[in-house]
Amino acid sequence: MAVHPDLELLYPDIAQRGSLGAALQTLADEAGLSLRVTAYDADPLRYACVETSLEYRKGLHANAHPDERAWSVTRVPVRLSMGEHGLYTAEAGSPLETVAETASAQEAASAAAREVPAGLDPVTRGVEEPQLD
């Protein structure tokens, strides 16, 4: 089994705020970014969720890597067939601000790309998916 470094030593800025969610929310607020970030209760120093303003989408998930100071931002898709994973992975040593900026940019791009005409299904945008027999 792999032995990981102490997260409080690897991420002192996150530990100081109590969670990745709190650290990202503070950075987003300071930068004037419109994000709502919460920590995962099970592992608050490593995982956070950036809530989405789109009711038919799930939020972004940010995580701090356990072996080196690096970050990933992913989206859990509403449907697996729409699969959007691995939106961003930062290089080791990248500042935490890049995660907040990336999450904000992804949310803005997602909202713009997913504008749905009135009356259409917001998930499929009115397009029927093929039926599997």
Domain that holds residue 75: 7-112
Answer yes or no: is 15 within a domain.
yes
Render pLDDT for 18-53 as a digit per residue (tens, 0 to 9): 999 999 999 999 999 888 999 989 899 999 998 877
Residue ranges, the chain, pLDDT below 50: 78-84, 125-131, 133
Could you tell me if residue 102 is inside a domain? yes
Q: What is the pLDDT of residue 18?
A: 95
Assess contact for 53 and 65: CB atoms under 8 A: no
Query: Would 1 be classed as within a structural domain?
Result: no
Assigned domain for 122 exists: no
In a domain, residue 85? The reply is: yes
pLDDT of the residue at 48: 93
State whether residue 14 is helix, strand or coil: helix
Q: Looking at residue 111, what is its pLDDT? A: 67
Torsion of CA 53, 78, 94, 7, to 10 degrees: 100
Domain membership of residue 121 (yes or no) is: no
Looking at the structure of the chain, the number of domains it has is 1
The pLDDT value given to residue 43: 92
What is the pLDDT at residue 77? 54
User: In this structure, what token pair is assigned to residue 124?
Assistant: 């499929």
Provide the pLDDT for residue 118.
53
Rounded-to-integer distance, Cα 105 and Cα 98, Å: 10
- Which single residue is written with the structure tokens 């990981």? 4
